[in-house]
Structure 1
Amino acid sequence: MASISPTPEPDPRRWRALGIICLVQVMLLLDVTVVNVALPPIQRDLGLTTTGLAWVVNGYTVTYGGLLMLGGRLGDLLGRRRLFLIGLAIFALSSASAAVAQQAGVLVASRFLQGIGAALVSPAALSLVTLLFTRPQERARAMAIWSGLAGVGVALGVVLSGILTDLASWRLIFFINLPIAAFAFLATPKLVSESRAAKRGRPDVLGAVLVTVGLLLVVFGLLEKSNHAWFSFSVLGCVGIGVVLLIGFVLVEARAAQPLVPLAFLRSRNRSIANMVRICYYVGFATFFFSLSLYVQHTLHFSALATGFAFVPFGLVILFSATVMAPRLLTRFGVRTLNGGGLAISTVGYVLLAGLSTHGTYVTDVLPGMILVPLGGGLVLVGSTVAGVDGATGEDAGIATSMNNASMQIGSAIGLAALVSLGSSHATVLQHAGADPMTATARGYAFSFAIAAGVTAFGALLGFAGIRPMAGEGRTVQENAGQRAT
């Protein structure tokens, strides 16, 4: 079928289609964090080690992020709606497998398969949004809704995890995916037309293997830092080989006839910087949910149910920031302010969380960060999404959106592995120096947040200095400034 290019008359089904697509995206992102509160009972039931628990989280995010670019390219070539439906089926089946798993290996393998399904669904979904909304103002609004609900999905994962784990069983956190996937699978063909790129070719499978295996080795090496020395093969060797494979990925992309990421595509300054900004945000984001949920349970002694509700402010704030604040600030000040300013606000939140201690309370030590991190995050998600698809067409929408999503998952996977590992190592050093285990653990969490603050501060500088005004943006900002002056 011929590719569908933007037309002056938008699809009348677009808002209903957006509802279905956003529901699926919420489900995918919910599964990033839904396991965090449930980790203790999962460990008890299946006998997972600490490293195994980390893979329950990262097995999903690594394959999700590593294969997103291949998923986006396959959607461009084979049809975005088709890949969306295939990915949904894989995700639903692997969710069922995770829910009934009786061995640790089955659960971890199921999480890897969930990541594969998500990698097919997510770039196709955002490509469909990009192509359904052809008018700039409507597209900006749709992107704001998409970004806001994405943040809510991540926060909702922690809430649902607490509720289901405390009142029933951790297995329900995977079973809840099945009715959502089934509904979307049946409704999508009625609301979304097929679309694909006009140019055909062979997908870059070698590139996908190199980037995915490279990321897996880097994450594995970083996670092993808590059990081995930096210069051991398990750490430095795996990270080094992973980095070599990632360099090989770049070289392959430069020579491939149909690369996953055409280097010419990366010459867009806004698209490149926007993805770097997203990585910086998500490095801290993954640690935020993993470490803070453990701190609230182990140090503040919240139940699983109370821990889930403790994260409710995050979802409310990021929804308000992305859907109410971001569209207005985007019109008045542009994408540079959203990206740089948003990360600056989140940085303040991480600085406050770096003061966590065993004597802290939820209201004074946790809640300020629970508000500031998502307040800035909503702005970043909208700003980096809009800049990340700047200039995308029907030919390369999948590439733009898959890179946008890949930066999120890659940042989360590497950030979780690196920051949690460094925090654990810091806690071990403190214990050897004579600190009691509870104090050392709390300071380890705080150390992770201090590093997150440094990363997000660097991202804020990138956003302010690197992103340029988009087409027509400068004139709008000047008009608004003139209106305020009069």
Structure 2
Amino acid sequence: MSTSTATRRAKPHAGAAWTVLSLACAGQFMVILDSAIVNVALPSIDRDLGFTATGLAWVVNGYLLTFAGFMLLGGRAADLFGPRRVLVAGLSLFAASSLAGGLAAAPEVLVAARVTQGMGAAMMAPATLVVINTWFTEEHARARAFGAWSAAGGVGGMAGAVAGGAITTGLSWRWVFLINVPIGAVLIVVAVMSLAGTPAGRREPLDLAGAVTGTAGLAALIYGVMQSADHGWTSVQVAGPVVAGLLLLVVFTVVEARFAGRPLMPLRLFGIRGVAVGNGMLLLFGGIAIAMWYFTSLFLQNVLHFSALQAGLGQTPAAVTFMVIARWASALLPRTGVRHLVLAGCGCFLVGFGWLSQAHADSGYVTGVLGPTLLIAVGIGLTFPTLMAAATAGVPEDDAGIVGGVAVTSNQVGGSVGLAALATAAGARAAAEAGESAPAALAAGYDLVFLVAAGLAVAIAMVGLLLPGPPARLTGRNAAISRRRSSEAPGR
């Protein structure tokens, strides 16, 4: 860490650290909530604005596309211009586009607002990670902060269905967007006041070639994967963008390795084992999360005939379990190391998804869904904050933003690819069971998804063997260094 960076942030007291953590968690909650809350409101939006069948999907896809595609750029911006500026700018863009979406009178306006919302989210998510990395430097405090941040995102995703249904039914679909305006305004004030001591950035020029090729490559790849829901994987609509995206990412890698003076994504960071292995596991974990939250919701609605609101409430016990376990796992992380928590989580995935794959149209909610999803939620609570901490640990403070952006991008890309691939597999299996009743055929497709998720758990466990085990006991000079760093940590 450079001297200038180390001296830019004054030592905060415990109350300030709590405020900063609350701000980071609230920002992450908003980002993830908005990726899910719109789903329940789509029929009402369609009735009011008159979308085409394909156009309505872009109310969701427009947000997800720019959120994942601009994440690397948002992360590097937080490094160059400081997390305070980028978080405030992201919150402002997010709130303004939410206002535009809530007042939209035409389909094109709403889609444009959702695209802009995704850009704001791509600035907010990595900026909140930079805030945690720079504010919480002591190992135990940092692990607890990541647990709270992870839990906030998980609860945001789960709250989306419940909140979306309640707001749409009680008020209007427009308030799904308008609710972000006052919340965003409050968070902007909190960010301006509480982050005054955070690093101000490095004032270096942006790697324009890397920004263009990296952002365009990710956006094209994700766009192509999204198209697979309506077209075959070998169609021009899918293969064209996917191939173009992969080629652009190859060009991006060459630019970063050979030509960029100050690269957008310094490839040397992948020489850190936690960054390389952690991001690989987050990529696989994206498929686990999709199988749990998305396909379980579909099973409840399409097989057990729950309403969207009932499905959201039916998943709430798992969301609460995840939140509790994530905080507990973060407290354990400094003592157990990354590997043991990840392997324990994968064991929960293997048993939970194996159990869930036995559910069928005649299954009851408690034994068929609730039991296995609680077990899977324990696994997610053990692994997600642990992987995020591993994927962002040991990096220079000046690179915290881009590394955080890469970690969130890995998880988002894994989820996007996982959703497309698993939906294709579920559809093919359901079609093969066409002789059965519709709920039974759909159940067979979802059961296949849950078995694939169990296989992903095995893959994550195998990669997890490359991660560090329990920390060695500190003695002598290393113990003295650790004590000195702990005494200098924020909030101590």
The answer to whether TM tops 0.5 is yes
Residues 1:309 and 2:307 aligned together: no
Asked if structure 1 preserves the Cα contact closer than 8 Å seen for 2:91 and 2:124, the reply is: yes
Equivalence for 1:446: 447
Equivalence for 1:191: 194
Equivalence for 1:350: 353
Residues 1:275 and 2:275 aligned together: no
Mean Cα displacement is larger for which, 177-186 or 63-72?
A: 63-72
Q: 1:154 aligns with which of 151, 154, 157?
A: 157
SS of aligned partner of 1:466: coil
SS of aligned partner of 1:183: helix
Q: Cα deviations across residues 247-267 of structure 1 (Å, max 9, x unaligned)?
A: 222222213222222110111
Cα distance, 1:78–1:220 mapped onto 2, change above 3 Å = closer
Q: 2:423 aligns with which of 406, 420, 423?
A: 420
Q: Cα deviations across residues 159-214 of structure 1 (Å, max 9, x unaligned)?
A: 21232233333332222212211101112221112544765422233333333333
Q: Write the distance in 1 (CA, Å) between the matches of 2:220 and 2:203.
A: 32
Q: Write the distance in 1 (CA, Å) between the matches of 2:141 and 2:372.
A: 32
SS of aligned partner of 2:40: coil
Equivalence for 1:467: 467
Asked if structure 1 preserves the Cα contact closer than 8 Å seen for 2:63 and 2:114, the reply is: yes
Q: Write the distance in 2 (CA, Å) between the matches of 1:22 and 1:462.
A: 29
Asked if structure 1 preserves the Cα contact closer than 8 Å seen for 2:161 and 2:308, the reply is: no
How far did residue 445 of structure 1 move? Answer: 2.7
Within a 5 Å distance, the mapping from 1:328-343 to structure 2 comes to: 328=332, 330-343=333-346
Equivalence for 1:70: 73
Q: Write the distance in 2 (CA, Å) between the matches of 1:404 and 1:265.
A: 12
Within a 5 Å distance, the mapping from 1:280-299 to structure 2 comes to: 280-299=284-303
Give the residue type in structure 2 aligned to 1:143: F
Cα distance, 1:204–1:353 mapped onto 2, change above 3 Å = farther
How far did residue 106 of structure 1 move? Answer: 3.2
Give the residue type in structure 2 aligned to 1:145: A
How far did residue 304 of structure 1 move? Answer: 3.1
Q: Write the distance in 1 (CA, Å) between the matches of 2:246 and 2:309.
A: 40
Cα distance, 1:83–1:198 mapped onto 2, change above 3 Å = closer
How far did residue 85 of structure 1 move? Answer: 0.4
How far did residue 49 of structure 1 move? Answer: 6.0
SS of aligned partner of 1:38: helix
Equivalence for 2:487: none
Q: Write the distance in 1 (CA, Å) between the matches of 2:472 and 2:172.
A: 53
SS of aligned partner of 1:427: helix
Equivalence for 1:3: 5
- Number of matched residues? 470
Equivalence for 1:483: none
How far did residue 28 of structure 1 move? Answer: 1.1
Q: 2:245 aligns with which of 242, 247, 254?
A: 242
Q: Write the distance in 2 (CA, Å) between the matches of 1:236 and 1:224.
A: 9
Cα distance, 1:83–1:138 mapped onto 2, change above 3 Å = same
Q: 2:137 aligns with which of 134, 149, 174?
A: 134
Q: Write the distance in 1 (CA, Å) between the matches of 2:296 and 2:44.
A: 17
Mean Cα displacement is larger for which, 44-53 or 224-233?
A: 44-53
TM-score normalised by length of structure 1: 0.88
How far did residue 102 of structure 1 move? Answer: 4.0
Mean Cα displacement is larger for which, 211-220 or 12-21?
A: 211-220
Asked if structure 1 preserves the Cα contact closer than 8 Å seen for 2:81 and 2:201, the reply is: no
Q: Write the distance in 1 (CA, Å) between the matches of 2:109 and 2:317.
A: 34
TM-score normalised by length of structure 2: 0.87
Give the residue type in structure 2 aligned to 1:282: G
Q: Cα deviations across residues 424-468 of structure 1 (Å, max 9, x unaligned)?
A: 34333443xx344433333333333332332232112211x1112
Asked if structure 1 preserves the Cα contact closer than 8 Å seen for 2:302 and 2:442, the reply is: no
Q: 2:31 aligns with which of 25, 28, 33?
A: 28
Mean Cα displacement is larger for which, 446-455 or 333-342?
A: 446-455
Give the residue type in structure 1 aligned to 2:282: R
Q: Write the distance in 1 (CA, Å) between the matches of 2:440 and 2:48.
A: 28
Mean Cα displacement is larger for which, 20-29 or 169-178?
A: 169-178
In structure 2, the gaps of 5 or more residues are: 475-492
How far did residue 309 of structure 1 move? Answer: 1.2
Asked if structure 1 preserves the Cα contact closer than 8 Å seen for 2:275 and 2:392, the reply is: yes
Cα distance, 1:180–1:22 mapped onto 2, change above 3 Å = same
Asked if structure 1 preserves the Cα contact closer than 8 Å seen for 2:8 and 2:199, the reply is: no
Cα distance, 1:154–1:83 mapped onto 2, change above 3 Å = same
Cα distance, 1:287–1:218 mapped onto 2, change above 3 Å = farther
Cα distance, 1:420–1:111 mapped onto 2, change above 3 Å = farther
Asked if structure 2 preserves the Cα contact closer than 8 Å seen for 1:65 and 1:119, the reply is: yes
Q: Write the distance in 2 (CA, Å) between the matches of 1:120 and 1:41.
A: 29
Mean Cα displacement is larger for which, 413-422 or 175-184?
A: 413-422
Cα distance, 1:348–1:326 mapped onto 2, change above 3 Å = farther
Give the residue type in structure 1 aligned to 2:183: I
Equivalence for 2:391: 388
Q: Write the distance in 2 (CA, Å) between the matches of 1:101 and 1:242.
A: 31
Q: Cα deviations across residues 397-435 of structure 1 (Å, max 9, x unaligned)?
A: 11222222222222222222322233234333443xx34
Mean Cα displacement is larger for which, 364-373 or 316-325?
A: 364-373
Cα distance, 1:226–1:21 mapped onto 2, change above 3 Å = closer
Q: Write the distance in 1 (CA, Å) between the matches of 2:426 and 2:348.
A: 23
Q: Write the distance in 2 (CA, Å) between the matches of 1:41 and 1:19.
A: 33
Equivalence for 2:59: 56
How far did residue 333 of structure 1 move? Answer: 1.9
Seq. identity, %: 37
SS of aligned partner of 1:474: coil
SS of aligned partner of 1:395: helix
Asked if structure 2 preserves the Cα contact closer than 8 Å seen for 1:217 and 1:238, the reply is: yes
Cα distance, 1:208–1:441 mapped onto 2, change above 3 Å = farther
Equivalence for 1:484: none
Asked if structure 2 preserves the Cα contact closer than 8 Å seen for 1:218 and 1:239, the reply is: yes
Residues 1:367 and 2:365 aligned together: no
RMSD over aligned Cα atoms = 2.7
Residues 1:115 and 2:118 aligned together: yes
Within a 5 Å distance, the mapping from 1:316-331 to structure 2 comes to: 316-328=320-332, 330-331=333-334
